[in-house]
Structure formats: structure tokens, C-alpha cells
Amino acid sequence: MTRQQLTQFIKQKAKELSFSDCRVAKSEYLAEEAPKLESWFRKGYQGEMSYLERHFEVRLNPSLLVDGAKSVICFLCNYFPDKQQNTDSYHIAKYAYGDDYHIVIKEKLQQLVCEIQEKAGAFAYRIFTDSAPIMERVWAQKAGLGWIGKNSLLISKQKGSFFFLAEIVCDLELVYDEPFTTDHCGTCTRCLDACPTQAIAAPQVIDSNRCISYLTIELKGAAGKEFEGKMQDWIFGCDVCQDVCPWNRFSLPHSEWRFQPKEEIIHYDRNDWDELDETAFRKIFKNSAVKRTKFSGLKRNIESCQTNGKCENQ
């Protein structure tokens, strides 16, 4: 196969595997990102996530992930649900409504790799989806999938931002797409204005120490008193900056059955969550990303909402 034929084959197969989009960036050192990343760490915006500081150079250079890397194949995988939670409920981020995306997407990408190997023969590769030191949003922008918004998330004019990012870094030489160079956020500040904890320190810069997603998932202890009354009843993750984004009016429900919302997440009210025990937690979230916070973490978040009462801006 020619480079053009192989690239088109990969994109067609990605579509068949229900990815929303697939484009390719040329593997190269991310020199422009180095000072931004260094500044972010220096300001302590990583919070307790010290693991992010490891492998600094690896984050900037795909060739340190895959020897001889030539291409970064980037994917969008929609997770916008057709049903949302009971309004009288604590909130779970939409990406965690169904099965764990790490497992679902990696299975899809491994299947794709097998099909590529049948056409192109053996090649060096690694699969990623929020699981290794790789700057996913930067590569997605370089591949032409969208721009990085003021809330630091990748945004597509056609699809909004309710999607997962994933990559195959490989030593195949493919046809590269043009990077996305236009910022379509303009003068809009809805995400900055709506963030309950003022976690957006500057456009495209998140202070994790103040982010509700970090406070409900990554933080080992309880959130500080300064956040009392500001968590808006989120017990796992947060969607506020996406819910208010005008581009998400274009979001359409996904077609992946494994992302279908678990019935308990959709129908539970506050009393149901208040009474959640570890047995029910293990049953409901058996194959879920929510397992990351563990039962103790989720109960901590629920109890925090109970203590603080109904949060402001509700």
C-alpha cells in the first residue's frame, strides 16, 4: 500500500470502530510546549499528582515512547450521553456514566492495529488514552482535530468537547493532516466565569489544586474549607466548563453501547447515594472509571455534599 492508501485505510477502519474522527500528525519534538509545561509544574498546578513531573522529556518527544516514531495517529471518541442524571441527585461526570473508557478504547485501538498489520506488516507502536506521558491535546490539535479552548480541553467546531482522546504512536510513515491553527473561543469567557472554584488560572491553564475533578478524584484527603459551598454537588469529576461551552450545542449522543449510562447513575436520587454501601459500590462501578476514587473516596465526596448542604449556583 502507498502512504496515501494506508492512511485512508486507517481512517476508514477508525470510522467503522465508531471513532468520531481520526487524523494524523507528524511525530516531532514539542519544543514550544517545554516552557509551558515547566512553568505549570513550577507553579505547583499539578497538586498532589507528582507522577506528572516524571518523564518530562518523554512527554515532549514521542521517539522516547516508540523508537523511530514517525506518526501520531489521533482519535476522538464521543461519550456524550442520550440520558442524563436525575436532577435531584449528586453529580457524576458524563465520561464516567458507562464502562471504563481506558478499557473500551484500548480494545478498539488494538483491533485497529491488528488490521493495519494485515495490510502493512509488523510495525513498532504504542497505544495511549489518558494513560502515559503524552500530551494528547497538543497532538490532537497538531493533527487538525480542533483547538485547545480556554478550559484547556480540545474543542471541535462540529463535535464540541464531550469526547475522549486517544493515540497510536508508531514508526509508520503516513500522510499528515494540517494542524488546527484557529482559536474559535474568541472573547467568550463562559467557562472561566462558570467554574465554581476558579480553577482556570488563565486561558488554557488549569490549577489542579482548585479543580473539582482533582478534588473529587485525585486528592487523597478532603477538600479545604475554602471550597465549602462551591462543589455544586459533584461527587466524581465535573462537567461545568463543558456544559456552559457554546460549542457543545453541537454535541450528539454517542453510539458505543459500553458507554451507555448505568441505570443507578441515571436514576439514583440523593437518598440513594447517601445510603450507598461498599457492596453496591462494587456492583455498580465494577467496570467503571469511578473505581479510581474507591468507595472511601466517593463516600467522602458524598458526605462533603451532605455537610455543606445544597451548593450555591444550583
Q: Catalytic residue positions?
A: 130
Count the neighbouring beta carbons within 10 Å of the beta carbon of residue 6: 17
Alpha carbon distances (Å) from 172 to 29, 31, 71: 17, 22, 6
Q: Residue 23 and residue 244: Cα distance in Å, rounded?
A: 27
Q: Are strands 71-78 and 163-170 parallel, antiparallel or unpaired?
A: antiparallel
User: Which residue, among 233, 229, 236, 210, has the nearest Cα to 290 in the 3D structure?
Assistant: 236
Q: Where are the beta strands (DSSP E) in the chain?
A: 21-26, 71-78, 91-92, 125-128, 147-148, 154-155, 163-170, 200-202, 205-206, 234-236
- Describe the chain by its helix, strand, coil percentages, rounded to 5: 40, 15, 45
To which residue does cell 512527554 refer?
59
Q: Residue 143 and residue 75: Cα distance in Å, rounded?
A: 9
Three-state DSSP class for residue 208: helix
User: Which residue, among 310, 164, 183, 161, has the nearest Cα to 244 in the 3D structure?
Assistant: 161
